[in-house]
Amino acid sequence: MILVLAYCAVLLSFASCLPPLLMQGRHNLPALGRLRMPGSLEEQRAQILTRQAVFGLLGLSGLFAALAGVSVLVSGEVMTGRIGLGLPWLPWQVRFDNLSGLFFLIIGIAISAVSLYGPGYVSAYEESKHPFAVLSLFSGLFIAGMLLVLLADDAFFFMIAWELMSVASYFLVAFQHDNPANRRAAFLYLLMAEIGALAIILAFGVLASFADGFTFDALRGAGLSNAWASIAFALALLGFGMKAGLVPVHVWLPEAHPVAPSHISALMSGVMLKVALYGLIRFCFDLIGEVHWQWGLVLMIVGTVSALGGILYAMMQTNLKRMLAYSSVENVGIIVMVLGLSMIFMAQNQPQLGALGFLAALFHAFNHALFKNLLFLGAGMIHHQTHELNIDQMGGLIKRMPKTGMLFLIGCMSISSLPLFNGFVSEWLAFQTALQVDVIDNGVLRSLIPVAAAALALTAALAAACFVNVFGILFLGLPRSRHADKAQEIADPGMLAGPALLAGLCFLFGIFPGLMLGLINHVAEQLLGASLPDGSSLSWLHLAPVSAEQASYSAPLVLVGALIAAGICFRYLRRSPATVMRRAETWDCGFGGLTPRMQYSASAFMMPFRRIFARVWLIDEQVKKDRQGAMDQDVAAIHYALQIQDHSWPRLYQPIERAVNRTARLVGRIQTGNIRTYLGYSFVTLIVMLWIIS
Amino acid sequence: MIAAYLVLLIPLTGMAFFALAGHRADSGAWNIRLNAVNLIATLWLAINVLREGTILSAGKAFLIDPFNVYLIVLTAFVGLTTAIFSAPYMAHEMETGRLNDARLKLYHAMYQGFMLSMYLVLTTNNMGILWVAMEGATLATVLLVSLYRTPESVEAAWKYFILCGVGIAQALFGTILLYYAAEQIGSEENALLWSVLYENADKLNPEVLKIAFVFLLIGYGTKIGLVPLHNWLPDAHSEGPTPMSAVLSGLLLNDALYAVVRNKMLVDGATQSDMAGFLMMGFGLLSFLVGALFLHRQKDIKRLFSYSSIEHMGMMTFAFGIGGPLATFAALLHMTVHSLTKSAIFVTVGHASQLAGTQNMEKIRGLIKTQPAIGWGLLIGTVSIAGFPPFGVFTSEFLVLLATMRSYPWLAPLLLLGIGIAFAGLFRHIQPIVYGDRPEGQQPIKANLWPVMIHLGLVLWLGLAIPGFLADWFSQATLLISGSAP
Amino acid sequence: MNWLLAMSQTVLFVALAPLLAGWIKCCKCRLQNRKAPSLFQPYRDLLKLTRKQPVVSDQASWIFTISPYIIFSAMVLAASIVPLIAVDLPTSASADVIVLIGFFSFARFFLALAGLDIGTAFGGMGSSREMTISTLAEPAMLMGIFALTMSASTTNLSLAIDFVLDEGLVLRPSFIFALLSLMLVAIAETGRIPVDNPATHLELTMIHEAMILEYSGRHLALIEWASQLKLMLYGVLIANIFFPWGIAERITPGDLGYGLLFIIGKLAFLSILLALSETLFAKMRLFRVQEYLSFAYLLGLLGMLSHIILEGAR
Amino acid sequence: MNIEQLDFYTQAILSLAALVGLTSFLMLGQGRLLRLIFVFAVQGFLLALTTAAAAYSLSNYHLYISAALTLVLKVILIPWMLRRQVLKMNMHRDVEALSNNTAVMLGGASLMLFSYYILHPIVQTSSLVMLNALAVSLSVMLLGMLLMISHRQAVAHVVGFMSIENGLFFAAIVATHGMPMVVELGVAFDVLVAAVLFGIFFLHIRTSIDSLDVDLLNRLSEVDK
Distance CA B424, CA A191 (A): 6
Say which residues have a Cβ less than 8 Å from residue C153's Cβ, sequence separation at least 6. Answer: A438, A550, C163
Please report residues of B whose CB lies closer than 8 A to that of D201: 146, 154, 157-158, 161
Looking at chain D from residue 3 to 62, which residues have their Cβ under 8 Å from any Cβ of chain A? none
Q: Per-residue pLDDT tens for C25-49?
A: 999 999 989 888 999 999 999 999 9
For chain B, give the percent of residues with pLDDT over 70: 99
- Residue ending a domain, choose from A570, A600, A616: A570
Q: Which chains touch A (3 or more CB pairs under 8 A)?
A: B, C, D
Is the Cβ of D147 closer than 8 Å to some Cβ of chain B?
A: no
Residue B266 has pLDDT above 70, yes or no: yes
Q: Per-residue pLDDT tens for A123-173?
A: 888 777 778 888 999 999 999 999 999 999 999 999 999 999 999 999 999
Residues A458 and A358 in one domain: yes
For chain B, give the percent of residues with pLDDT over 90: 45
Does the beta-carbon distance from B158 to D217 stay under 8 Å? Answer: yes
Residue C312 has pLDDT above 70, yes or no: no
Residue A41 has pLDDT above 80, yes or no: no
Chains A, C in contact: 3+ Cβ pairs under 8 A? yes
CB pairs under 8 A between A and D: 51
Please report residues of B whose CB lies closer than 8 A to that of A180: 436
Distance CA B165, CA B480 (A): 31
Distance CA A431, CA C5 (A): 30
Residue A175 has pLDDT above 50, yes or no: yes
Chains D, C in contact: 3+ Cβ pairs under 8 A? no
Distance CA D173, CA D49 (A): 11
Say which residues have a Cβ less than 8 Å from residue C240's Cβ, sequence separation at least 6. Answer: C82, C83, C84, C161, C247, C263, C266
Q: Which of C155, C144, C138, C153 is nearest to C179 (CA)?
A: C144
Q: What integer is the mean pLDDT of B392-412? A: 90
Looking at chain B from residue 146 to 205, which residues have their Cβ under 8 Å from any Cβ of chain D? 146, 149-152, 154-159, 161-162, 165-166, 169-170, 172-173, 176-177, 179-180, 183-184, 189-192, 205
Q: Which of A280, A296, A288 is nearest to A440 (CA)?
A: A296
Burial of residue B363 (CB within 10 Å: 0-12, 13-18, 19+) is middle
Indicate the pLDDT class of residue A28, thresholds 50, 70 and 90. Answer: low
Least Cα separation, residue D205 to chain B (angstroms): 7
pLDDT reported for residue B187: 63
CA dihedral sign of residues A451, A455, A461, A464: negative
Q: Per-residue pLDDT tens for A510-545?
A: 999 988 888 898 898 888 888 887 667 777 778 888
pLDDT reported for residue A476: 92
pLDDT reported for residue D2: 61
Distance CA A665, CA A651 (A): 22
Nearest C-alpha in B relative to A145: B390
Nearest C-alpha in B relative to D115: B211
What per-residue string of b and e applies to D128-148 under the rule 16 or more CB within 10 Å gives b?
A: ebbbbbbbbbbbbbbbbbbbb
Residue A662 has pLDDT above 60, yes or no: yes
Question: Cβ atoms within 10 A of the Cβ of C163, count?
Answer: 18
Q: What integer is the mean pLDDT of C294-313? A: 81
pLDDT reported for residue A237: 95
* ipTM entry: 0.90
Concatenating the DSSP letter of every residue in A624-684 gives: EEEEESTTS-EEEEEEEEEEEE-THIIIIIHHHHHHHHHHHHHHHTT--S-HHHHHHHHHH
Least Cα separation, residue A656 to chain D (angstroms): 21
What does R_g of chain D's alpha carbons equal in angstroms? 18
Distance CA A613, CA C132 (A): 11
Is the Cβ of B216 closer than 8 Å to some Cβ of chain D?
A: no
Nearest C-alpha in B relative to A89: B486
Say which residues have a Cβ less than 8 Å from residue A30's Cβ, sequence separation at least 6. Answer: none
Q: How far is CA C157 from each of CA A549, A551, B28, C8, C164, rounded to the nearest angstrom?
A: 10, 9, 90, 18, 11
The larger pLDDT score, comparing residue B364 to residue B468, is at B364
Question: Cβ atoms within 10 A of the Cβ of A282, count?
Answer: 24
Please report residues of D whose CB lies closer than 8 A to that of A673: 217-223
Least Cα separation, residue B155 to chain D (angstroms): 6
Cα A98 from chain centre = 21
Contact indicator for B480, B329 with CB cutoff of 8 Å: no
A671, A675, A683 member nearest D145 (Cβ):
A683
Please report residues of B whose CB lies closer than 8 A to that of A167: 383, 388-389
Residue B274 identity: D
Residues A654 and A556 in one domain: no
Nearest C-alpha in B relative to D205: B154
Tell me which residue range forms the domain holding A445. Answer: 347-570
pLDDT reported for residue C287: 83
pLDDT reported for residue A371: 94
Is the Cβ of D71 closer than 8 Å to some Cβ of chain A?
A: no
Does the beta-carbon distance from D145 to A673 stay under 8 Å? Answer: no
Say which residues have a Cβ less than 8 Å from residue B106's Cβ, sequence separation at least 6. Answer: B143, B144, B147
The larger pLDDT score, comparing residue B22 to residue A394, is at A394
Least Cα separation, residue B424 to chain A (angstroms): 6
What per-residue string of b and e applies to B446-460 under the rule 16 or more CB within 10 Å gives b?
A: ebebebbebbbebbb
**What SS3 class is residue B55?**
strand
Residue C210 has pLDDT above 60, yes or no: yes
Residues A556 and A660 in one domain: no
Mean per-residue pLDDT of chain B: 89
Q: Per-residue pLDDT tens for A75-104?
A: 888 889 888 888 888 889 999 999 999 999
Give the start-to-end residue ranges of the domains of chain C: 2-310
Q: Indicate which of A670, A683, A692, A693 best probes the interface with D, i.e. most D CBs within 10 Å of its own CB.
A: A683
**What SS3 class is residue A94?**
strand
D134, D157, D204 member nearest B162 (Cβ):
D157
CA geometry: angle at A546 spanning A545 and A552, to 5°?
60
Give the start-to-end residue ranges of the domains of chain D: 3-216
Q: How would you classify residue B436: left for phi > 0, otherwise alpha for psi between -120 and 50, otherwise beta? A: left
Is the Cβ of A455 closer than 8 Å to some Cβ of chain C?
A: yes
In a domain, A513, yes or no: yes
Is the Cβ of D187 closer than 8 Å to some Cβ of chain B?
A: yes
- Residue ending a domain, choose from A570, A601, A619: A570
Is the Cβ of B126 closer than 8 Å to some Cβ of chain D?
A: yes
Q: Helix count (H) and strand count (E) of chain D? A: 8, 0
pLDDT reported for residue A361: 95
Nearest C-alpha in A relative to B370: A129
C61, C122, C142 member nearest A399 (Cβ):
C61
DSSP-derived secondary structure letter, B437: P
Q: What integer is the mean pLDDT of B336-350? A: 93
Q: Which of C104, C97, C107, C190 is nearest to C144 (CA)?
A: C97
Q: Helix count (H) and strand count (E) of chain A? A: 29, 5
Please report residues of B whose CB lies closer than 8 A to that of D204: 146, 149, 154, 157
Contact indicator for A510, A420 with CB cutoff of 8 Å: yes
Does the beta-carbon distance from C297 to A454 stay under 8 Å? Answer: yes
Does the beta-carbon distance from A675 to D214 stay under 8 Å? Answer: yes
Is the Cβ of A679 closer than 8 Å to some Cβ of chain D?
A: yes
Strands A634-645 and A618-628: antiparallel
DSSP-derived secondary structure letter, D213: B
**What SS3 class is residue A497?**
helix
Task: Kindly state the helix (H) or strand (E) to which residue A79 belongs, with its residue range.
Answer: strand A79-87
Looking at chain A from residue 637 to 676, which residues have their Cβ under 8 Å from any Cβ of chain D? 665, 668-669, 671-676
Task: Write out chain C in H/E/C secondary structure.
Answer: CHHHHHHHHHHHHHHHHHHHHHHHHHHHHHHCCCCCCCCCHHHHHHHHHHHCCCEEECCCCHHHHHHHHHHHHHHHHHHHHCCCCECCCHHHHCCCHHHHHHHHHHHHHHHHHHHHHCCCHHHHHHHHHHHHHHHHHHHHHHHHHHHHHHHHCCCCHHHHHHHHHHHCCCCCHHHHHHHHHHHHHHHHHCCCCCCCCCCCCCCCCCCHHHHCCCCCHHHHHHHHHHHHHHHHHHHHHHHHHHCCCCCECCCCHHHHHHHHHHHHHHHHHHHHHHHHHHHHCCCCCHHHHHHHHHHHHHHHHHHHHHHHHHCCCC
Residue D1 has pLDDT above 70, yes or no: no
Q: Which of B82, B133, B125 is nearest to B107 (CA)?
A: B82
- Residue ending a domain, choose from A528, A550, A570: A570
Looking at chain A from residue 173 to 212, which residues have their Cβ under 8 Å from any Cβ of chain C? none
For chain C, give the percent of residues with pLDDT over 70: 97
Does the beta-carbon distance from A583 to C57 stay under 8 Å? Answer: yes
Q: Per-residue pLDDT tens for D98-137?
A: 777 788 888 888 988 888 888 887 766 666 677 788 888 8
Distance CA B312, CA B296 (A): 16
Nearest C-alpha in D relative to A678: D149
Distance CA A138, CA A186 (A): 14
Distance CA C312, CA B179 (A): 83
Q: What integer is the mean pLDDT of D27-39? A: 87
Does the beta-carbon distance from A694 to D220 stay under 8 Å? Answer: no
State how many domains chain A has: 2
Distance CA B181, CA C311 (A): 84
Least Cα separation, residue C248 to chain A (angstroms): 19
How many Cα atoms sit within 13 Å of B183 on the Cβ side?
20
Does the beta-carbon distance from C301 to A469 stay under 8 Å? Answer: no
Let me know how long chain D is: 225
Q: Per-residue pLDDT tens for B173-208?
A: 999 888 888 887 766 667 788 888 888 888 888 888
Residue A32 has pLDDT above 70, yes or no: no
Q: How far is CA A282 from each of CA A2, A93, A246, rounded to the nearest angstrom?
A: 21, 15, 17
In a domain, A437, yes or no: yes
Residue B161 identity: F
Q: Per-residue pLDDT tens for A230-279?
A: 999 999 999 999 999 998 888 888 888 888 999 999 999 989 999 999 99
Residues A565 and A676 in one domain: no
pLDDT reported for residue B465: 87
Q: Which chains touch D (3 or more CB pairs under 8 A)?
A: A, B
Question: Cβ atoms within 10 A of the Cβ of A530, count?
Answer: 20
Least Cα separation, residue A191 to chain B (angstroms): 6
Indicate the pLDDT class of residue A33, thresholds 50, 70 and 90. Answer: very low
Residue C242 has pLDDT above 90, yes or no: no
Residue D150 identity: S
Q: Per-residue pLDDT tens for C92-117?
A: 878 888 899 999 999 999 999 999 99
Residue A141 identity: L
Please report residues of D whose CB lies closer than 8 A to that of B304: none
